[in-house]
Structure 1
């Protein structure tokens, strides 16, 4: 008989930084490309297009950083408050907390006697951790830290925004909108596939999803640019 070692490979630990990175790069490409396409469709020249793009990059990177920092900070504060509340309840009403944990395990399919034994054992080992995990759904693998999420979002937004800006700089006069749109769509499809692969999801679905919404965003801003360009 040969013994075969089985190792599970999971990707859930990547969720925090992966979410911030993919969101930042995707938003950087989509928002900056859409802005460039809209300004170009309105009939603006290359200098105006590039100024709008650089301003969009700077504003977007700061907005993403601030948004991620506030969002993750708020979630972290809420989890800290819940943790402190649960610690207090375990100290003040341990019997009720034990009963609560027992009911949770009964609800998940354990027999009452076994559920109580499991609750007792986990309470002796790490009661707070058991309640946080099984009652509140708080595990040790939470989202990224606020500063980490902010920095990752800002940097990835800027990296994503740099692509359409570079294309706008290199494209022939009069072809800026088309070149930016095509290059951005290709990059978005690749980004969607990469993000799905790193997260362990189907690459085709991720690529299609990101590409579709990027195309929609650029189409809308192109239409707006054309309308206002004609009106002017």
Structure 2
């Protein structure tokens, strides 16, 4: 679990985050949504420890980040997995090499132990025969699965995903969503996803945080978002034609 209490973050005169308080549950897919400039990326970087808020606190399973020593912060960061928007794979490394990289950098495991772990996570993301292939030789969806395998290879307690469906076709995006949710539940991870994808909101939004102009405008579940009368939320989510259709079906079922 990650608990956020009244955090503020500024860059010079630009006050980006304005007193956000929320909680991200363990074992659930927690989504952050909002328009460009709403503060989503800065908020995610605060959660990752890349930015430190000027006010407020962030607590990871009882550990207040600002109270930790440098060594304790380093240890905490090793409990975090990250799936970047563009996958961020190393072009010069094979799939196996990309996934093994964190183990080589941050553990003292034997080669056999690392190989066993890499084989396990690649199998878990349904990439059994891709070990020796390079990122340029696989599809965008496969690259995302490699990125997820690399993010979970260290058995993280916290998984962060920045626009994991960016650049993917709708069918592949659904597969990636389902994989992230399965892994979250299977390993009881606290997963936080920055997204613009309304399919993700509908399918895996067990907790949704909507930011606007640096404020927490609304939070709830993918069931509750259909019922909200918050204009900022409805203006944002119902810009999606698919979301309009789904909401209409929901309202018709209720009637």
TM over 0.5: no
Q: Greater RCO between the two (CA within 8 Å, min separation 6)?
A: 1
Greater Rg over alpha carbons, structure: 1
More strand by share: 2
More helix by share: 1
Q: TM-score, normalising length from structure 1?
A: 0.28
Q: TM-score, normalising length from structure 2?
A: 0.26
